[in-house]
A and B are shown apart, each in its own frame.
Chain A
Amino acid sequence: MNINDYLEYPYDPWIILGIRENASDKDVKKAWRKNGSPKTGYIYKAYQLLKDGESRKKAELLGPKPFREPSDALNTLKKHPQYKGPEKWLDQIRNK
């Protein structure tokens, strides 16, 4: 697999195979088999891109896939409790 194979693969190969980033060779093979052991197509390509430790390290170093739009980042931001004072809470009870 050369650099372009990784860059031109349009998806996150870990997501395509349904495995974690710390998956082992065994996990990758198992995931490929679970998907019907295809010999062509996106699943097969994902399998090839991740099949051994060195390939996975290359995939990791040539990733992650960028967002399509900046707004994609919004959904990944953590939510934080916002202090709004007692009245907002009391209004919820008053206007039940």
Chain B
Amino acid sequence: MAYIRHRKLVENILLKKVLNKISEAEASGKIAVILENPLWIADSPLLDDNDLWKKSAVYILEDFEAVTNGMSRPGSPGIILEEKGNPLYSWHLLTNAIASFYENNFVLMEKFSSMIPENTPPAVLKEVFSIISGKPSSSKKALSFAMEIFSRNTRTSESIELLQEASAYRDILITEIQKVIPLTAKENLLSAKKLYYWAVSRLVQEEPLSEYLEKNMECLGPGEASRLCSVASMQTDPDYALLAWLRSFKDVLWQKEISKEEITARSTIASELIRNVKSAELFTEQINSAAADIIQDINTALRNNYSDISLPDIKLKLPSAIDSEKNNKRFKNTKEIPGLFGELSA
């Protein structure tokens, strides 16, 4: 076994060094290329506790343990870990490369990795650092190790896989969405939206969506769950799509600042959804009333937060939502409000 043989060789070289049969530089050079574990020096009975190499090895072991376990690194012992004078130099560089990796500083990781002398045992990990930096590799062993130490969040991955299995069971799928989407949103917001869209599209194939699905989805951003539920329902469930769209519009207006272009685009789409509901003859008094309530909120938000935006175009986008006698009465007293319903209630 090379490992045991190398350990014995290190002991022999240390003995020669202690007996002054070999220079320190020569001993360092010989040990550096076979030192597969700093413990061989840290534990050597041939060196006393004040020996520079022994102190270096003890420090490296503590540092190595700390960086690979996510603990605080030990303070510098003031040891000079120079290349020629200390056989632990490559281990020092390796520890720094590993520390940089765990700090997500891959530039520094590569810098330290590139400094590790090629003929020393820590150099075997250069390939792993290279893979982590995104470079191709033919080494299966290095690839496998890189995947082990640099991987996706297991809980999120498993939850996503579970979502696939749950897709055949509506109730389970609804429960799982509540767990998976927030986890995914923490990792990648766009993916969380695409995943949520997939799930609600799947659900809408069987029966109409419910407002419940839009709840507790703040992780997607203001109004985003309602917007995606609306988009998923637009071709199959126009009245739900309209109300969800309006809820999204209202939420986004109250919770963040959006551009005039976005307000216009949201109004244009709302207007088209209203036409769809009307053409499908689904515009019941209940839908009409619910839509008008939300539109009234939208109007208030626009008045309160977007006073600098000229609204005449937007005013014209949503007239049909309130063209019932009941709603005309409701908005009769809002004539003076310079918002969406100012003209409509006249």
Contacts and interface: CB of A to CB of B under 8 A. Distances in A.
User: Real complex partners, A and B?
Assistant: yes
A77 interface: yes
Interface in B92-149: 98, 101-102, 104, 121-122, 124-125, 128, 141, 145, 148-149
Given A85-B68, A94-B36, A94-B37, A62 B191 contact: no
A74 B194 CA distance: 12
A92 B194 contact: no
A39 interface: no
A57 B160 contact: no
A79 B122 contact: no
> What range describes how many residues of A lie at the interface?
35 or more
Interface in A1-59: 2-4, 7, 53-54, 57-58
Given A2-B272, A7-B235, A89-B125, A81 B261 contact: no
A93 B161 CA distance: 34
B156 A58 contact: no
Contacts of A54: 261, 264-265, 268
Interface residues of B, number: 61
B273 to A, nearest CB: 7
B264 A78 contact: no
B152 A77 contact: yes
Interface stretch (B182-190, B319-327, B328-336): B182-190
A69 B145 contact: no
A42 to B, nearest CB: 20
A57 B263 CA distance: 10
Interface string B147-174: 0111111001100110110010000000
B317 interface: no
A71 B148 contact: no
Contact of B121 (A69, A72, A93): A93
A89 B231 CA distance: 49
Contacts of B164: 69-71
B89 to A, nearest CB: 15
A70 B125 contact: no
A84 B37 contact: no
Contact of B187 (A68, A78, A94): A78
Given A67-B194, A73-B191, A86 B64 contact: yes
Contacts of B191: 67, 73, 76-77
B160 A71 contact: yes
Contacts of B101: 81
A88 B269 contact: no
B139 to A, nearest CB: 10
A89 B63 CA distance: 13
A94 B160 CA distance: 36
Contact of A79 (B151, B163, B167, B266): B151
A82 B148 CA distance: 7
B193 interface: yes
Interface string B251-295: 000000000011011101100110010000000000000000000
Contacts of A74: 152, 157, 160-161
Given A74-B152, A92-B125, 20 more contacts: A3-B269, A3-B276, A58-B265, A61-B262, A61-B269, A62-B231, A64-B194, A67-B197, A69-B198, A70-B163, A70-B167, A73-B184, A76-B188, A77-B153, A80-B151, A80-B152, A82-B149, A88-B148, A92-B128, A92-B145
